């Protein structure tokens, strides 16, 4: 059964419409900046998912491809500024992508021989190597302060000079949609399908007649290309690149954003990137313990929700199809209250201790929009009770949730 061209194009038209409308809904000063950052992270996380989600390759150095693409993009920007080269700004991501692709072609030629630990270790080694080279090769990487450029000096595209953030937003949005579209097309090609097969069972893929190494190599190069695109978008948006854009911490953030969204799902990284960036920018402003919270959430997620947020949604499709989603509402509502108390209580305690130790001279602190006295007994006792009781009660209710879940997904005659 062949779908009509229109119905398969519909989601893309819808997505394009959303991207066009967004900057007119969120007009606040910072929101365009955040949306630009989200766009860049989406491309990067989607390209990472080509490796981890679709190809089963765990990379600890994915930021390198983004960084190198970005560095070259800044250099090209400077060359264009000096009028040695004519290149309108919207084509710059293509340059970054080709650089990422080129670098991935070299590295992939030896790193994709094996998946698993060996691949992960090579990616870590390359990541450390390039990050260390940043300090040594100052001509290209600019040392500690990095290199910067000026995007407005490029020849104007239909009269657009890309001076305002909004103009840059549309450029990024265009490339985000294009990248996702091309990556989607890739998953539909035979080699894209084989990438999944090689991830799940490399031996059988070989028996079918495909070289597992070649299949991985193609995915790897594709991922390198789109990471490079993300790097060039970063260069356009921020006009500066430093060592911090390609070190291990950055690579970890890519992994985090992708994993939170959901590794096995095509659009999972999009949700991950949106959530991660909003958390990073919004919570990052509120507390300096941001990295601690994300780290803990990440580890808990790996332990209890390995399919990510998208996986959580996908899980609920089964009770939805069986028409039993209503059975879950009551236990969910019941666990929500003590669960929230536990989370709020523990965060409050962590922040309270942090405040007393580092800003002990200030007696009052504001937390969750409430100001209170840190020296009095009451907040400590309250938070401790919230933490303890919340934990205990949610454990009791968790059993009810598990039972309700079992009932809601139970199918007669099917083995589980």
Partner 1 sequence: MDLFIINVIDGLIYGLLLFMLSSGLTLIFSMMGVLNLSHAAFYMLGAYLAYQISVYTGFWVGLIVAPLLVTILGAAVERYGLRRVHQYGHVPELIFTFGLFFVIEELVQYIWGRSMVNYNSPESLDFIAFNLAGGSIPAYKVFMLLVSVGIFLALYYVLARTRVGMIIQAALSYPKTVEALGHNVPLVFMGVFGVGTGLAGLAGVIAGPSLTTFPGMAFLLGSIVFVCVVVGGLGSLFGAFVASLLIGWLQTFAASYNIGAADILIAFGYEYPKDVYYHPWRDLWTLTLPQIGPILPYILLILVLVFRPNGLFGKRET
Task: Assess 133 for contact with partner 1 (CB under 8 A).
Answer: yes
Q: Smallest distance from the beta carbon of 116 to partner 1, in angstroms? A: 6
Options 139, 208, 370, 411; binder of partner 1; rule CB under 8 A: 139
Nearer to partner 1, 168 or 255 (CB): 255
Q: What percent of the chain is helix, strand and coil (3-state, nearest 5)?
A: 75, 5, 20
Task: Assess 52 for contact with partner 1 (CB under 8 A).
Answer: yes
Q: What is the sign of the dihedral through the CA atoms of 43, 47, 48 and 50? A: positive
Q: What is the sign of the dihedral through the CA atoms of 77, 78, 79 and 81? A: positive
Q: Which one of the spans 126-134, 189-197, 230-238, 335-343 is the region binding partner 1 (CB under 8 A)?
A: 126-134
Residues 213, 113 contacting (CB under 8 angstroms): yes
User: 8: which 2 tokens?
Assistant: 């398969």
User: 338: which 2 tokens?
Assistant: 């003590």
Task: Assess 162 for contact with partner 1 (CB under 8 A).
Answer: no
Q: Given the structure tokens 């910072």, which residue do they identify?
A: 30
Options 12, 79, 138, 340; binder of partner 1; rule CB under 8 A: 138
Residues 93, 283 contacting (CB under 8 angstroms): no
Nearer to partner 1, 144 or 407 (CB): 144
User: 220: which 2 tokens?
Assistant: 């790897």
Task: Assess 398 for contact with partner 1 (CB under 8 A).
Answer: no
In angstroms, what is the C-alpha Rg of the chain? 24
Options 1, 5, 136, 378; binder of partner 1; rule CB under 8 A: 136
Options 17, 20, 137, 283; binder of partner 1; rule CB under 8 A: 137
Nearer to partner 1, 66 or 122 (CB): 122
Residues 220, 28 contacting (CB under 8 angstroms): no
Q: Considering only residues 195-254, where is the footprint of partner 1 by CB under 8 A?
A: 248, 252
Options 65, 238, 259, 271; binder of partner 1; rule CB under 8 A: 259
Nearer to partner 1, 207 or 304 (CB): 304
Q: Considering only residues 277-306, where is the footprint of partner 1 by CB under 8 A?
A: 289, 291-292, 295-296, 298-299, 302-303, 306
Per-position x/- string for 86-125, each x denoting binding to partner 1 as judged by CB under 8 A, each - no binding: ------------------------xx-xx-xxx-xxx-xx
Nearer to partner 1, 30 or 295 (CB): 295
Task: Assess 365 for contact with partner 1 (CB under 8 A).
Answer: no
Closest CA to 237 of 185, 315, 162, 293: 162
Closest CA to 382 of 367, 363, 360: 367
CA–CA separation, 140 and 75 (whole Å):
8
Closest CA to 276 of 296, 264, 259: 259
CA–CA separation, 75 and 161 (whole Å):
19
SS3 for 202-251 is HHHHHHHCCCHHHHHHHHHHHHHHHHHHHHHHHHHHHCEECHHHCCHHHH
Q: Smallest distance from the beta carbon of 206 to partner 1, in angstroms? A: 15
Q: Smallest distance from the beta carbon of 291 to partner 1, in angstroms? A: 5
CA–CA separation, 189 and 99 (whole Å):
23
Task: Assess 350 for contact with partner 1 (CB under 8 A).
Answer: yes
Q: Smallest distance from the beta carbon of 212 to partner 1, in angstroms? A: 14
156 phi/psi in degrees, rounded to 5:
-75, 145
Q: Which one of the spans 92-100, 133-141, 168-176, 238-246 is the region binding partner 1 (CB under 8 A)?
A: 133-141
Options 126, 194, 223, 274; binder of partner 1; rule CB under 8 A: 126
Contact residues for partner 1, defined by CB under 8 A? 52, 56, 58, 60, 110-111, 113-114, 116-118, 120-122, 124-126, 128-129, 132-133, 136-139, 248, 252, 255-256, 259, 289, 291-292, 295-296, 298-299, 302-303, 306, 350, 354
């Amino acid at each position: 059964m062949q779908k009509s061209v229109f119905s398969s194009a519909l989601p893309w038209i819808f997505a394009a419409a959303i991207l066009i409308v967004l900057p007119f809904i969120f007009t606040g000063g910072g929101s365009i900046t955040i949306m630009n950052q989200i766009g860049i992270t989406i491309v990067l996380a989607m390209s990472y998912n080509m490796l981890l989600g679709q190809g089963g390759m765990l990379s600890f150095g994915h930021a390198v491809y983004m960084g190198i693409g970005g560095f070259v993009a800044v250099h090209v920007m400077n060359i264009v500024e000096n009028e040695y080269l004519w290149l309108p700004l919207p084509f710059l991501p293509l340059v970054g992508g080709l650089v990422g692709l080129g670098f991935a072609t070299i590295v992939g030629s030896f790193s994709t021989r094996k998946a698993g630990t060996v691949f992960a270790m090579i990616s870590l080694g390359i990541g450390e190597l390039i990050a260390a080279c940043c300090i040594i090769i100052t001509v290209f990487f600019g040392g500690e302060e990095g290199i910067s450029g000026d995007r407005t000096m490029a020849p104007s595209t239909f009269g657009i000079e890309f001076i305002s953030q909004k103009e840059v937003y549309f450029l990024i949005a265009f490339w985000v949609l294009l990248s996702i579209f091309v990556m989607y097309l890739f998953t539909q090609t035979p080699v894209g399908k084989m990438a999944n097969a090689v991830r799940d069972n490399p031996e059988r893929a070989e028996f079918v007649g495909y070289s597992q190494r070649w299949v991985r190599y193609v995915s790897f190069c594709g991922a390198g290309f789109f990471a490079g695109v993300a790097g060039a978008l970063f260069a356009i948006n921020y006009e500066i690149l430093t060592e911090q854009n390609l070190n291990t911490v950055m690579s970890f953030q890519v992994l985090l954003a992708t994993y939170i969204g959901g590794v096995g799902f095509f659009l999972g990284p999009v949700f991950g990137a949106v959530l991660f960036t909003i958390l990073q920018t919004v919570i990052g402003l509120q507390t300096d313990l941001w990295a601690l919270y994300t780290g803990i959430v990440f580890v808990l997620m790996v332990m209890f929700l390995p399919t990510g947020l998208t996986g959580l949604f996908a899980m609920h499709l089964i009770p939805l199809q069986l028409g039993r989603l209503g059975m879950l509402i009551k236990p969910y509502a019941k666990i929500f209250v003590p669960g929230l108390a536990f989370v709020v209580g523990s965060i409050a305690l962590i922040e309270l201790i942090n405040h007393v130790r580092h800003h002990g001279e200030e007696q009052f602190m504001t937390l969750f929009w409430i100001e209170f006295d840190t020296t009095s007994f009451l907040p400590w006792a309250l938070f401790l009770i919230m933490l303890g009781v919340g934990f205990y009660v949610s454990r009791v209710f968790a059993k009810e949730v598990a039972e309700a879940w079992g009932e809601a997904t139970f199918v007669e005659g099917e083995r589980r």
